[in-house]
Structure 1
């Protein structure tokens, strides 16, 4: 594996067309491989680029340096993983941020890309966005809570059976938090 490079995309015009296509491809591939990143408002996998493109479009259109940004990891110029960091818009919790859509391209799995992205998020959230706390949700049954715990996140609650992956396969939604 080559050197991993990280970049932030903070405004819609900063996202190159080629990177946009790579983000869609990553999302489709990860979801179809069983990843827990099925976008809201689309059917359960199998997904196609047509399912994901409008969701990514809404994310990109909302990019703003103080409100939301993409953090992307590349290896030798190829997208290896990405995530979305956004500020909660409600005034009572505007000091809090949310991490969504952490994805590692399947060909880069088990190389530490996801962990490296998650280790960079606290500094960006605190230093660039002025956030004081981060939250995320994870699907039970995949070991994700252990992954996040290993990075300093704390489980603060569960919603039992909230996620129906398939008939007869209900999973807990795990709420996790990180003080910055």
Structure 2
């Protein structure tokens, strides 16, 4: 079984609901995608709307992976940098694979599909992403070719007494 990836699919209610459900499930399983569990659809939807606004404006691209049932099982959003001196790299956000698919190589497949999508965008030389320290995500991204290029200690507070580093990683794209 493998995921089928699509870049910038037509956005409809089913896709919206699929991404929302994925985001909730990943968050509630402890995934570091902007929330601390427990989280609900109502909390996630406003964040998804921000990504959708970027898509409508042409500054954000969606990479979506569907499982054999057509269910949204993975996503990554690629957002163009708007600073005139930094338009040569793109940011990856809300990178997630459904918990039931973890350990199947789908995360690596998502990162490959994301890199492929970024390489198709004219003028993009690299992908930048950040991840929450203490989760092991930095080791995963390093295994996908990303290099740690910065770290902000204690930048993320997930609880009153639990601070995590914000780790900045970069993947140069070779054309």
Question: Structure 2 length as normaliser, TM-score?
Answer: 0.92
Verify: 1:67 aligned to 2:67, yes or no: no
Give every structure 1 segment of 4 or more consecutive aligned residues whose post-TM-superposition deviation is greater than 4 Å: none
CA distance in 1, matches of 2:166, 2:50: 24
Question: Structure 1 length as normaliser, TM-score?
Answer: 0.89
Kindly state the Cα deviation for residue 129 of structure 1 after the two structures are TM-superposed.
4.2
Query: Please, which runs of 5 or more residues in structure 1 have no aligned partner?
Result: none
Matched with 1:46 is 38
Matched with 1:80 is 73
CA distance in 2, matches of 1:80, 1:9: 15
Query: What secondary structure is seen at the aligned counterpart in 2 of 1:63?
Result: helix
- Aligned residue pairs total 172
Q: Which residue, out of 144, 154, 159, partners 1:161? A: 154
Matched with 1:143 is 136
Structure-2 change in CA distance of 1:153 and 1:65 (3 Å):
farther
Query: What secondary structure is seen at the aligned counterpart in 1 of 2:131?
Result: strand
Verify: 1:177 aligned to 2:170, yes or no: yes
Residues 65, 129 of structure 1: 8 Å contact kept: no
Residues 38, 45 of structure 1: 8 Å contact kept: no
